[in-house]
């Protein structure tokens, strides 16, 4: 029965994504995170790590476009947005989105960011996932190593008061990683989106209001 429910949940979001023109059902994970934490508030410069096939980029572009009209006031505001997606595999183009085919752990990425943004970022999201081999412990540790590298990039490039979403896998070292992220932001939460299946041990860490 539980298996059936999981199947129907997957199928429902798959159909919804098809109908609404999103490239993958994972789009609804980001919508869910936005609904709960309002990560797109005043976000104009945004980086999506592990962006292929591009459904998060589609969601990001939607909110960035809305923000241009929504936040035109005396507080932090930009009259344009910049969105970059990075992935080791191809992502089909999206208008007004800069896509870089590269490994995010490579040192050249910093130059790519500097040239494109010329500034620190409002929001960084990472849905990066290592290629799982099926051993939960090994997968957890490999994902963790990748997430630490991404955190180096986050620390350097996310602006004061900026926000982060990063995917991790639950496991023995999750809490340690979570505790290390905690001092970087004023608010840190761990969240499993409703669209995520029970079988999956993925969990997202949300960091709001970077401290400096």
Ligand X SMILES: C[S@@+](CC[C@H](N)C(=O)[O-])C[C@H]1O[C@@H](n2cnc3c(N)ncnc32)[C@H](O)[C@@H]1O
Q: Give the interface with ligand X as residue ranges (CB under 6 A).
A: 23-24, 26-27, 50-56, 86-89, 103-105, 127-130
Q: Pick the catalytic residue: 29, 61, 82, 167?
A: 167
CB 208 → ligand X: shortest distance, Å? 20
CB 175 → ligand X: shortest distance, Å? 23
86 vs 203 by CB, closer to ligand X = 86
23 vs 42 by CB, closer to ligand X = 23
24 vs 68 by CB, closer to ligand X = 24
Q: How many angstroms separate the CA atoms of 177 and 145, rounded?
A: 10
**Residues 30 and 125: beta-carbon distance below 8 Å:** yes
Q: Which residues, including other chains, have CB under 8 Å from residue 100's CB and lie 6 or more apart?
A: 84, 85, 86, 87, 109, 112
Of the candidates 33, 48, 41, the residue with the CA atom closest to the CA atom of residue 195 = 33
CB 152 → ligand X: shortest distance, Å? 13
Query: Catalytic: 36?
Result: no
Catalytic site residues? 167
């Amino acid at each position: 029965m539980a298996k059936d429910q999981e199947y129907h949940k997957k199928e429902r979001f798959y159909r919804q994504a098809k109908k609404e023109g999103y490239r993958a059902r994972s789009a609804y994970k980001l919508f869910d995170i936005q609904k709960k934490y309002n990560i797109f508030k005043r976000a104009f410069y945004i980086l999506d790590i592990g962006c292929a096939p591009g459904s998060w980029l589609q969601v990001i572009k939607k909110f960035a476009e809305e923000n241009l009209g929504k936040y035109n006031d005396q507080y932090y505001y930009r009259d344009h947005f910049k969105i970059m997606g990075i992935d080791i595999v191809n992502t089909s183009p999206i208008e007004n989105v800069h896509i870089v085919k590269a490994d995010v752990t490579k040192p050249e990425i910093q130059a790519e960011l500097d040239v494109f943004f010329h500034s620190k970022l409002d929001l960084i999201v990472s849905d990066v996932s290592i290629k799982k081999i099926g051993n939960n412990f090994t997968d957890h540790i490999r994902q963790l190593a990748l997430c630490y590298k991404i955190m180096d990039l986050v620390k350097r490039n996310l602006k004061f008061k900026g926000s982060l979403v990063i995917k991790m896998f639950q496991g023995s070292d999750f809490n340690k990683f979570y505790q290390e992220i905690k001092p970087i932001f004023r608010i840190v939460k761990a969240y499993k989106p409703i669209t995520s299946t029970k079988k999956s041990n993925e969990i997202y860490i949300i960091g709001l209001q970077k401290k400096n």
